[in-house]
Structure 1
Amino acid sequence: MSLTIKRIGSIDGIRGWSLFGILLANLLIFQYGIFGKDEISYFDLSQSNLFFYYFVKIFIEGAFMPIFTFLFGYSLILMRNSLERKQLRIKWHLFRRFIVLMILGGLHSTFLWEGDILFVYGLMGIFLLMFVNRKPKTLLIWGVLLFAAFSIISLFDSGEDFELTNPEKIETYLDETWIIYGTGTYAEIKDHRNNVDPMELSGGEAVLLLILMPVLLVPMFLFGMYAAHRKWLLDPLKEKQQYLIWLLILIPLGLLLKAAPYLFNEAGWSFGMSGIGGTVLPIGYICLFAFAYSKLHTHRLLIAFENVGKLSLTNYIMQTIICTFIFYGYGIGLFAKLGVTASLFLGILIFSVQVMVSTLYLKLFNQGPLEKLMRVFVYLKIH
């Protein structure tokens, strides 16, 4: 999701890698629904499918989206610096970019799929405008404070207040979703997605969730902005020893924290540990990819991730189009039929196709179609 700023191979590569992880995690939503993925006992999975379900929950889900969030903050500073060099109005151009993201996100969630992130990113981008001209130290302090606040809240709140408290209602919802998503027409699926909601949040709870959103999301945005100011990830070869140390610490710690809900019975405590792991593990994964870049920066695999990352916005939307066609009734109709194990192989296949298409496309064009559209609205110029 970038504008015409100087391309940084490692950043594009990490962005492409995060898209791969996001696809594998989102396949749970594509196949079981936004609520069904966390009510997996309803679908009576086999032992092998359960194994890979928990593998995805611990190693992948909630670990790659924060990487994308980190890179969003990183790119925000790169764009800010680019706009400043061109003597353009920084906040006004960024504001237009975030409005476009919100519009795309609204269209995406309304007409295609309930798992959209673009609207939230656009909304959070507007919130981040107050930080865009702050000093790196200020960004780090706010990031640490908000992360600490989130950690304390999550440690003492199991999240049960926001869970579906009516088992009969969620079962009825899943019954309807299975039928409609698996066999319904586009209009029926769209109507179900936009008008049927099993959540029972009061107005006060909804407001509280809205207030807590910055506390949950902003730390990774700010850490990414801080990293861009400090020019981290620009020279992986020079910093490889640091990346090696941190990946060896953060990845095992993050996996342990993510696994806490499945290892311990104390719901509130394990919920909090998992939430903290959702920040620790992604940073460890970033260090892992950066270390790989220091060793294999010209390897075909890393170049493949770069190519996907350069077209991140277009590829993200294409993942939705491809997967909804595969799983929904107006396409092949494999909703809740394929299984988690097979869906992982499907994810690898889809991403491999995206790698090939992105590589061929970039030989002909400099930007993806949605990236080009974004640039036109941000700069208000066709060329």
Structure 2
Amino acid sequence: MAPQPVAKADRIQTIDLIRGMALLGILMMNIPGFGFLGSGFNAILRNPTGPDFYTFAIVGTAFEGTMRGLFSMLFGAGMVLFTQNKRELENGPTVAEYYYRRLLWLVLFGVINAYVLLWRGDILFFYGLCGMLLYPFRQTKAVWLIGLAVVCMGINSIRPELWYSNLRGNRAGYLEAVNLEKAHKKPTEKQKEAKAAWEKFEKNFAPNPKKDAKERKEMRSDYGTVFAHLLPENSNSETFYTYYGSWDMLLMMFIGMALLQWGFFSNKLPTSTYAVTLLVGYGLGLPISWFYAVVSQIDWVQHTGQMVDNYRTLPFQLYDIRRVLLALGHASLLLLVYRSQVVPWLMRALTAVGQMAFTNYLMQSIICTLFFHGYGLGYYGKLAHYELYYVVVGVWIFQLIVSPIWLQYFLFGPFEWLWRSLTYWKMQPMRRTLATV
């Protein structure tokens, strides 16, 4: 029998459940990219009061980076499950061929998400590339996978640290040059260069109404104008993150592979283990996250020079540590709620959302770009930061209702069906009445 997609009866429901939560949570992080001027965050942090700031603080502290981190963990776990559920055929494609074919299609879907659907924050492209590196480690012991994650975390910290070290050097040169000028002395060429570099850096924090007006105008225009506006941003981000930004995805994928071996995602651990993980994850993660996401960012915008003077290392290096802690805390909380059977209807709906995660992710791109871009409703830059989350809640309700209804009649979401058909190069059954599950 040829390899085929996993039947519903063989799926691990709690993995779909956690994936559903992570997928919905990702929209909380993505929504500013869909409809909010990037400069708006600096304005919020310069005046940290009111609903915009409180929304920023809550979302940033509890969720920023953690939902994508959790989604990356589940992606790593899913890649292992994909290889485990396939049997080699003597004269057919190998499991490795199916695996890499699946990921190559995912890369293409990422390109479509970025350049056709015009979402500037696509992750499918990078997941496809990172996933290609996981296959040799599919049978690696959990302890070594955690070791690989730590290595990735270390590598991920090198470039920001080098950048910050250079920034501190420019800051020191700037201060030296200013002091010499006040004393009516001439700075050295090196000090002049450092002074110019620091002033250029500080200029990035200054409001730029002309740039903001241009951004609004182009993002509220026709499809061709929006495409041209986002083209350099998307192409530059794909190049940059392929070389420098993939380490944070890989470290989470390796952790996810290890957690799968330990039975964490499949709900096999004692309730006490999930309770302790919840307490540790939130007990350590939330205070660190408050410092990282709120305190440090306010200082960074309001007192950049003083912050560079006072911190020998970049405070934002706490990013990976706090997102691991909070991701595990979120997953543990959800599994404890699942075991308690308090809201079974919500658990079923989240599981359906997770089972259709690929469709729901692309659906979020379609809905939000049509809502915010000019070739749709043109709401880009019109909503306050806190008002963006009305849109988030609306999309959540829609996907929580539609996903379970869809899966009553169909085996897969439409994009899952397409992806599977392309992976196996064979039309997969779609309607429930046409296949045995």
> What aligned pairs does 1:78-227 form with structure 2 within 5 A after superposition?
78-84=81-87, 89-112=94-117, 113-150=119-156, 158=164, 165=201, 167=204, 172-181=210-219, 183-195=220-232, 210-227=242-259
Could you tell me the percent identity over the aligned residues? 25
Question: What letter corresponds to residue 348 of structure 2 in structure 1?
Answer: I
Alpha-carbon distance in structure 2 between the residues aligned to 1:269 and 1:355: 39
Where does structure 2 lack aligned partners over 5 or more consecutive residues? 168-197, 300-306, 429-437
SS of 2:137's equivalent in the other structure is coil
Superposition deviation, residue 358 in structure 1 = 0.9
Give the TM-score of the pair, scaled to structure 1. Answer: 0.86
The 8 Å contact of residues 154 and 275 in structure 1, kept in 2 or not, is answered as no
**CA RMSD across the alignment:** 3.1
> What aligned pairs does 1:244-259 form with structure 2 within 5 A after superposition?
244-259=275-290
Superposition deviation, residue 219 in structure 1 = 1.3
Alpha-carbon distance in structure 2 between the residues aligned to 1:138 and 1:233: 18
Partner of 1:353: 398
Partner of 2:272: 241
Question: What letter corresponds to residue 382 of structure 1 in structure 2?
Answer: M
Give the TM-score of the pair, scaled to structure 2. Answer: 0.76
The worse-fitting range, judged by mean Cα deviation, of 95-104 and 221-230 is 221-230
The 8 Å contact of residues 23 and 357 in structure 2, kept in 1 or not, is answered as yes
Alpha-carbon distance in structure 2 between the residues aligned to 1:58 and 1:257: 9
Q: Does structure 1 residue 49 correspond to structure 2 residue 81? A: no
Alpha-carbon distance in structure 1 between the residues aligned to 2:336 and 2:160: 31
SS of 2:152's equivalent in the other structure is helix
Residue in structure 1 matching 2:15, options 11, 15, 30: 11
Q: 1:37 to 1:97 in 2, by over 3 A?
A: farther
Q: Does structure 1 residue 59 correspond to structure 2 residue 58? A: no
The 8 Å contact of residues 28 and 340 in structure 1, kept in 2 or not, is answered as yes
Alpha-carbon distance in structure 2 between the residues aligned to 1:246 and 1:50: 30
Superposition deviation, residue 372 in structure 1 = 0.8
Q: Does structure 1 residue 27 correspond to structure 2 residue 31? A: yes
Deviations 1:76-128 (A, max 9, x none): 11111001477862221110111011000001101221110100000101122
**In the comparison of the two structures, how many residue pairs are matched?**
372
SS of 1:339's equivalent in the other structure is coil
Please say which structure displays the higher CA radius of gyration: 2
Deviations 1:204-233 (A, max 9, x none): xx77x6444343221110111112223323
Alpha-carbon distance in structure 1 between the residues aligned to 2:74 and 2:116: 27
Where does structure 1 lack aligned partners over 5 or more consecutive residues? none
Alpha-carbon distance in structure 2 between the residues aligned to 1:352 and 1:377: 30
SS of 2:390's equivalent in the other structure is helix
Superposition deviation, residue 326 in structure 1 = 1.4
The 8 Å contact of residues 156 and 269 in structure 1, kept in 2 or not, is answered as no
Alpha-carbon distance in structure 2 between the residues aligned to 1:137 and 1:252: 24
Superposition deviation, residue 271 in structure 1 = 1.0
Superposition deviation, residue 235 in structure 1 = 2.9
The 8 Å contact of residues 142 and 261 in structure 2, kept in 1 or not, is answered as yes
SS of 1:226's equivalent in the other structure is helix
Superposition deviation, residue 45 in structure 1 = 9.4
SS of 1:127's equivalent in the other structure is coil
SS of 2:409's equivalent in the other structure is coil
Deviations 1:171-191 (A, max 9, x none): 65433111221x311111111
The worse-fitting range, judged by mean Cα deviation, of 7-16 and 333-342 is 333-342
The worse-fitting range, judged by mean Cα deviation, of 216-225 and 64-73 is 216-225
Question: What letter corresponds to residue 242 of structure 1 in structure 2?
Answer: T
The worse-fitting range, judged by mean Cα deviation, of 227-236 and 349-358 is 227-236
The worse-fitting range, judged by mean Cα deviation, of 183-192 and 100-109 is 183-192
Q: 1:133 to 1:315 in 2, by over 3 A?
A: same
Q: Does structure 1 residue 272 correspond to structure 2 residue 317? A: yes
Alpha-carbon distance in structure 2 between the residues aligned to 1:157 and 1:151: 10
SS of 1:313's equivalent in the other structure is helix
SS of 1:83's equivalent in the other structure is coil
Superposition deviation, residue 275 in structure 1 = 3.7
Superposition deviation, residue 317 in structure 1 = 0.6
